[in-house]
């Protein structure tokens, strides 16, 4: 299993370390040296352990994790950071190369409802083959999501895509080590997934409409707008 360590956690650790060193009157030169060592080690850890498309959105993942954490503990959930995570993952991965074929397979399956039961395994294998031939990080996530969705009886492409985006957010935001996963209870994790579901459904609609989509531009829809009674961040007092 890949160990996903959000840059966020390490940066936070680093800031704590700076505060601690300041409190202990460590010289500036000593502090800089120690921080430099920590940064180099951090970067090495990231490059040695992560190295997939999700490792590129670890900072965004931190922000999204905070928004979700705020949401599950009774505050208002801001979907903007999560939408941005989806946008960036899609952008860095160059879309989901196997999706057009997977969608075709699902459409063909739905076109013959009489033979649905007989063709279930055949369809699952066709999806497996489509995703395997591309074999990118997102294709692997899609494979699990699409087959799981199909076997659960949700045969529409939208359902598969929605589960796919939910899994993307799960992987980039909820599951990484040192993030939400350790801090949330099982119930809160379930709530978090429910909270993100509308977002994943929205992204699924976009992807189904344009199977070759490389950028979802989802964050635009959730970006706070600057109005007469808001501040420059779009927040209303």
- Kindly tell me which of 91 and 211 has the beta carbon lying closer to other proteins: 91
Which one among 126, 138, 203, 206 touches other proteins, defined by CB under 8 A?
138
- Kindly tell me which of 100 and 136 has the beta carbon lying closer to other proteins: 136
Alpha helices in the chain (DSSP H): 7-23, 28-49, 58-72, 80-93, 99-111, 116-134, 137-151, 157-169, 180-183, 186-209, 219-222
Please say whether the beta carbons of 7 and 58 come within 8 A.
yes
Stretch touching other proteins by CB under 8 A, among 64-72, 111-119, 148-156, 214-222: 148-156
* C-alpha of 167 from chain center: 7
19 binds other proteins (CB under 8 A): no
Which one among 7, 56, 62, 84 touches other proteins, defined by CB under 8 A?
56
Which one among 11, 18, 45, 201 touches other proteins, defined by CB under 8 A?
45
Interior angle at CA 217, CA 68 and CA 75, nearest 5:
20
- Kindly tell me which of 184 and 206 has the beta carbon lying closer to other proteins: 184
Dihedral sign (CA 152, 153, 157, 158) = negative
Site string for other proteins, 92-131 (x = CB under 8 A): xxx--------------------------x--x-------
């Amino acid at each position: 299993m890949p160990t996903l360590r959000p840059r966020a956690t390490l940066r936070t650790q680093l800031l704590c370390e700076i505060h601690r060193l300041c409190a202990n009157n460590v010289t500036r030169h000593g502090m800089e040296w120690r921080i430099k060592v920590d940064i180099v080690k951090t970067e090495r850890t990231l490059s040695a352990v992560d190295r997939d498309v999700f490792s590129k959105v670890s900072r965004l993942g931190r922000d999204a994790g905070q928004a979700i954490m705020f949401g599950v503990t009774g505050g208002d959930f801001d979907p903007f950071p999560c939408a941005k995570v989806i946008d960036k993952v899609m952008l860095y991965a160059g879309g989901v190369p196997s999706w057009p074929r997977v969608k075709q397979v699902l459409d063909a399956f739905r076109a013959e409802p009489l033979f649905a039961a007989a063709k279930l395994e055949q369809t699952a294998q066709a999806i497996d083959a489509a995703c395997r031939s591309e074999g990118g990080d997102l294709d692997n996530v899609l494979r699990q999501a699409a087959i799981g969705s199909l076997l659960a009886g949700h045969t529409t492409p939208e359902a598969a895509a929605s589960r796919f985006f939910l899994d993307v957010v799960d992987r980039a935001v909820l599951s990484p080590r040192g993030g939400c996963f350790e801090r949330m209870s099982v119930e809160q994790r379930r709530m978090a997934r429910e909270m993100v579901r509308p977002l994943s459904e929205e992204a699924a609609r976009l992807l189904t409409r344009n199977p070759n989509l490389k950028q979802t531009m989802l964050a635009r829809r959730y970006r706070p707008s600057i109005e007469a009674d808001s501040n420059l961040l779009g927040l209303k007092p």
